[in-house]
Amino acid sequence: MIRAISYNLRKNSARHELVDLVSKFELDALCLQEVDTSELPTELGHLHLADSTKANRLGLAVYYNRDRFEAITTQTFALKKSLHDRLLAPAHERLIGTLLQDRQEGRSIVIASFHAAPLTALNSLRRNQIAAAHAELRTLGTESPTLMVGDYNYPLFKENLGERMTASGYDLTLSDTLTYTRYKFFRGHFDFATSVGLAISSIETLPRGNSDHMPILISADYTSVPAQK
């Protein structure tokens, strides 16, 4: 079983909740969005910082359990920009992915934190970003199971998005309840997971903290045995 939390910190306002989240759950990974990466500690409990974005006003980061995993490589990626990005420059890198070697299972896995363009952009742009993100992550681990979690900013027409993910070989999995309820007209499952090579048994929406997003807890298993060398 692999357990990961994804959390949009709302411009870093929920950063003080991270220690409690890590101590409460036996996590293998923690993926963050809208974090001030200059304030991130190298260690959060038993989790170690793989890396974070450097060019963003609202950054991304991935932590992992160093007792179970070895970090092979981490890379950040710039995706197609929205008009909002071009005018206000809140984000240059919207994806960070880490290739990990799972010592417990004897195989590799890619864990990624993703933050799609804001609601001022069209769903078509976010679909482009998601597809591009999946393509970039394949360069990290060509045949490795992949878990991409984060803030997809995709409140409507997820059925269509799910069909597109299935056609591309990915699964889309929503959490058990809504993850964003701050505004009357923008409510829904904004935070979820897309994956390949993994069976996601559950995604639990955790209680609200200081962010306008609620953290989600993902539990997943590999769907195949590792290739023999």
List of residues 6+ apart from 151 with CB closer than 8 A: 6, 8, 33, 34, 114, 115, 116, 190, 191, 213
pLDDT of residue 179: 92
Per residue of the chain (229 residues), give pLDDT as tens.
Answer: 999 999 999 999 999 999 999 999 999 999 999 999 998 999 999 999 999 998 777 799 999 999 999 999 999 998 766 555 555 555 678 899 999 999 999 999 999 999 998 877 677 888 889 999 999 999 998 889 999 999 998 776 567 777 888 888 899 999 999 998 776 566 778 899 999 999 999 999 999 999 999 999 999 999 976 655 4
pLDDT of residue 185: 60
Q: Could you tell me where the DSSP H helices lie in the chain? A: 18-24, 83-88, 123-140, 158-167
Tell me if 147 sits within 8 A of 112, measured CB to CB.
Answer: yes
List of residues 6+ apart from 101 with CB closer than 8 A: 69, 70, 72, 107, 108
Q: What is the pTM of this model?
A: 0.92
Q: Pick the closest to residue 198 from 221, 175, 218, 177 (CA basis).
A: 221
Q: Where do the structural domains in the chain lie, given as residue ranges? A: 2-222
Please give the CATH architecture assigned to the domain spanning 2-222.
4-Layer Sandwich (3.60)
pLDDT of residue 154: 78
